[in-house]
Amino acid sequence: MQAESLTHLQPMLQWRYAVRRFSDEIVSDTKLNQVLKDTRLSPSSYGLQPYKLLVIKNREIKDKLVEASYGQEKITLNSHLLVLAADMSPITEMVEQYVLRYSLHNDLIGKKLNAMKQTMLSSVAKFDKPTQYQWASEQAYIALSTLLLSAASLKVDACPVGGIDKDKFDQILELDKFRLKTVIACPIGYRHPLDHVAHANKVRKPIEDLVIKVD
């Protein structure tokens, strides 16, 4: 397992970086759909996936979002702009929908199914809106990690962008009517040949400064 990880995962992590400038090349529908399918399989709290993933290709919309991104041109100069948004719909609805889907794909009915539902509700249904947004955002960031790894495996570049005015994103994308709130943006595409950051050495903490082993 260790050798397999070194063979497959580390080269992808070494290859990817936070792209500063994208080329004009467009990510194919096949690769885009694969990234979306992989992201769908991300782990999340109780499997509820309390977020949505917006795929924006329209240049006019992306141009408007640059104004809400402090002028970062990579928000508009990319193949597709992906935006992860917290699902702010009632959590009880999420649980009901999940339990229904679960019952259709697993052999669990009656009291056991209801017990699972009540366990989920007792944990998350009491959240107020700020707590729900924080919880949903944490789950969205887990999905973002899967998205980045999937993109790297396909040699598709990506750059998470947290430096945005989330309220303005919400307004421009009219997310209120979908009961969503922006968490983070992530343009994807292909690195521009003149993006000098692509040739910089990756700098991370030494493993001994990062890891604390508790025996």
Residue 57: pLDDT above 80?
yes
pLDDT score of 105: 87
Place of tokens 């702010």: 88
Q: Would you call 173 helix, strand, or coil by DSSP?
A: coil
| CB-based contact 50:87 (threshold 8 Å) | yes
Cα(83)–Cα(87) distance, integer angstroms:
12
Confidence at 1, pLDDT banded by 50, 70, 90: very low
pLDDT score of 106: 85
- Give the domains, in start order, of the chain with CATH numbers: 15-210 (3.40.109.10)
In sign, the C-alpha dihedral spanning 18, 24, 27, 29 is positive
The mean pLDDT of 72-79, rounded to a whole number, is 97
Confidence at 107, pLDDT banded by 50, 70, 90: confident
| CB-based contact 79:25 (threshold 8 Å) | yes
Confidence at 6, pLDDT banded by 50, 70, 90: low
For residue 22, report the phi and psi dihedrals to the nearest 5 degrees: -95, 155
Residue 178: pLDDT above 50?
yes
Cα(73)–Cα(24) distance, integer angstroms:
13
Average pLDDT value over all residues in the chain:
94
pTM: 0.93
pLDDT digits (tens, 9 = 90+) for 129-169: 999 999 999 999 999 999 999 999 999 999 999 999 999 99
Pick from 12, 14, 19, 140: which is nearest to 78 by CA? 19
Cα(8)–Cα(181) distance, integer angstroms:
35
Task: Give the number of other CB atoms < 10 A from CB of residue 126.
Answer: 10
The mean pLDDT of 31-54, rounded to a whole number, is 98
pLDDT score of 77: 97
Q: Identify the helix (H) or strand (E) that includes residue 168.
A: helix 166-172
Better pLDDT: 96 or 2: 96
The mean pLDDT of 46-64, rounded to a whole number, is 97
Residue 7: pLDDT above 80?
no
